[in-house]
Amino acid sequence: MKHSVGGRKLSRTTDERKRLFSMLVEDLIRRDSIITSVTKAKTAQPIMEKLITKAKKGGESNKRRIARTIHDRALVSILMEYAVTRFAGRTSGFTRITKLGNRLGDATQMAMLSFVDEKVVTDVITPKKETVIKQKPATKTPKINKNVKTEKTKTPIKKKTVKSSKK
């Protein structure tokens, strides 16, 4: 029986799951936002929230507890600095999940997991290409006012004179 067993398995063994969540959290700290499936984002969000709360408390024991999940020492020190400066005004709710739509390959719902104090990037799955318009060098051309009607001047038709042959 599965009493008091919670969490999502994500079709992985325990070690694979721990490593996946560790990598998601590390990427979130490195890049400030990650794009993943909604299920993975919902599972990684509470882990990240708890790590930030531990980092805000500070101390060597909390730093070791964070290092159990984040295996890169540089990222642990970055998180400890972020907690003091970046998240000082908040007690919880450090991250947000923004749903982006379905992935084209397998129709999985995608989401962006990011920190709350960052800008939300929209249209991430299919970014619009910027078109560069090359402009010709400026040449001086007279301005034409289209509102003024110009009269067409008629050229006079020359009449042929016929010489009479009467004498």
For the chain, what percent of residues have pLDDT higher than 90? 58
* Residue range 150-165: mean pLDDT, rounded: 63
pTM (2 d.p.) = 0.67
Fold category of 14-115 in CATH = 50s Ribosomal Protein L17; Chain: A, (3.90.1030)
pLDDT digits (tens, 9 = 90+) for 38-58: 999 999 999 999 999 999 999
Whole-number percent of the chain with pLDDT over 70: 69
Q: Where are the domains of the chain?
A: 14-115
Instruction: Give per-residue burial for 114-139: e unless 16+ CB within 10 Å, then b.
Output: bbeeeeeeeeeeeeeeeeeeeeeeee
d(CA 38, CA 42): 6
DSSP three-state, residue 166: coil
Identify the CA nearest to 25 among candidates 59, 60, 49.
Answer: 49
